[in-house]
C-alpha cells in the first residue's frame, strides 16, 4: 500500500530549521524549485492496494537524490539523515521522527 507522509513540519521544527539552515543551502534551493509530487504519479502502479503502508516514495526519491549529490552510500545517507538538520528539513521530517535503516 502506498504510504504518504503528511509533509507538514510543525511550527517548533520550522523555526529551528529556519534559524539553523542557510537560505542558500543547496537542498533548500532544490526544495523551493521542484515539486516532488510527480513521484506519486510515476510510482502509483508499483504499489498494491492491500498490505501495510510503504515508505513514502518521495522520501525514497529524495534520499537517492541526496546520495547522488553528496556521493553517499545507502547507509551513509540514512545515517546522516539522523543527525543532519538540512537533510531532515529536505525530507520534511520533524526532529523527533524516527529514521529507519532502509534498503534503497
DSSP-assigned states of every residue in 51-69: SS----HHHHHHHHHHHHH
Mean pLDDT, the chain, integer: 87
Q: Residue 100: how many CA atoms within 13 Å on its side-chain side?
A: 8
Strand, coil or helix: 100:
coil
Q: Return the higher-pLDDT residue of 92 and 4.
A: 92
Sign of the alpha-carbon torsion through 64, 69, 70, 73: positive
What cell numbers appear for 10 in the block? 510543525
Helices (H), the chain: 11-20, 26-33, 38-43, 57-70, 74-83, 85-90
What pLDDT digit, counting tens, does each position of 70-92 carry?
999 999 999 999 999 999 999 99
Q: What pTM, to 2 d.p., does this model score?
A: 0.83
How confident is residue 1, by pLDDT bands cut at 50, 70 and 90?
A: very low
How confident is residue 47, by pLDDT bands cut at 50, 70 and 90?
A: confident
Amino acid at each position: 500500500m502506498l504510504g504518504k507522509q503528511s509533509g507538514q513540519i510543525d511550527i517548533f521544527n520550522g523555526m529551528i530549521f529556519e534559524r539553523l539552515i542557510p537560505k542558500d543551502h543547496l537542498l533548500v534551493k532544490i526544495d523551493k524549485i521542484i515539486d516532488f509530487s510527480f513521484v506519486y504519479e510515476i510510482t502509483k502502479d508499483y504499489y498494491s492496494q492491500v498490505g501495510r503502508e510503504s515508505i513514502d516514495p518521495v522520501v525514497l526519491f529524495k534520499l537517492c537524490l541526496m546520495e547522488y549529490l553528496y556521493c553517499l552510500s545507502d547507509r551513509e545517507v540514512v545515517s546522516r539523515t539522523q543527525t543532519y538538520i538540512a537533510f531532515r528539513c529536505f525530507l520534511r521530517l520533524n526532529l523527533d521522527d524516527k529514521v529507519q535503516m532502509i534498503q534503497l
